[in-house]
Amino acid sequence: DNWDRDLEVLGVADKISIDNLSDEHIETISRSDFLLIGPILKEVDLDLIRGIREFYNGEIFLDPQGLIRTIEDGLIKRVCDRSELKEIIKLVNIVKPNEFEAEVITGMKTAEEAAKKLVEWGADIGIVTLGENGSIAYDGNELFKIPPYKTLSRDPTGAGDTYAGAFIFKKLCGSNVREACE
């Protein structure tokens, strides 16, 4: 009813290490204006993001979902190492959890408080997506309440990725935070 879902683990990817990135990967990342980091299940960690920041000065958009997932009885549960996540947030520009992840990450009960907390911890922009209720964004100065894009919802899988991709595209086109979120 609330569009949250249970996820069953079919397989676990290897951890991505800065040492495993080829020269070609590093060159591609270095030339990019934006980098989207969206782990699924702990394959990304603080060491990788620190390593990327040693050679990459562009914008990093983080979807933290896979940083707070753990496996329990074959199902995904949300658990947060807040101290490590705070360090990661200091290294990125934009953080976009959904409302369920935002509460686990920040401990805040409302999306508005959570978005502000993400910026307080070091992000330039904190965004909290609210499914069929739109999203909230905070840029350190202004809180934006973004209405939902009306559509016939079938399955929320990939909705956050679509949001992130559209946001990045609009920012690259020169849009402000509100326009990019919309």
Residue 152 tokens read as 């016939």
Q: Could you report the per-residue pLDDT of 37-93, keeping only the tens digit for each?
A: 999 898 999 999 999 999 999 999 999 999 998 888 877 788 888 899 999 999 999
Residue 129 tokens read as 């997506």
Starting at the earlier edge strand, list the strands of the sheet with 34-37. 34-37, 59-62, 94-95, 125-129, 135-138, 143-146
Q: Could you report the per-residue pLDDT of 80-133, keeping only the tens digit for each?
A: 888 999 999 999 999 999 999 999 999 999 999 999 999 999 999 999 999 889
How does DSSP classify residue 42?
A: S
Residue 3 tokens read as 């569009």
Phi, psi of 63 (to 5 degrees): -100, 105
CB 88 within 8 A of CB 46: yes
Cβ-based neighbour number of residue 59 at 10 Å: 18
- Between residues 1 and 101, which one has the greater pLDDT? 101
Predicted local confidence at residue 5, as pLDDT: 64
Residue 118 tokens read as 């993400």
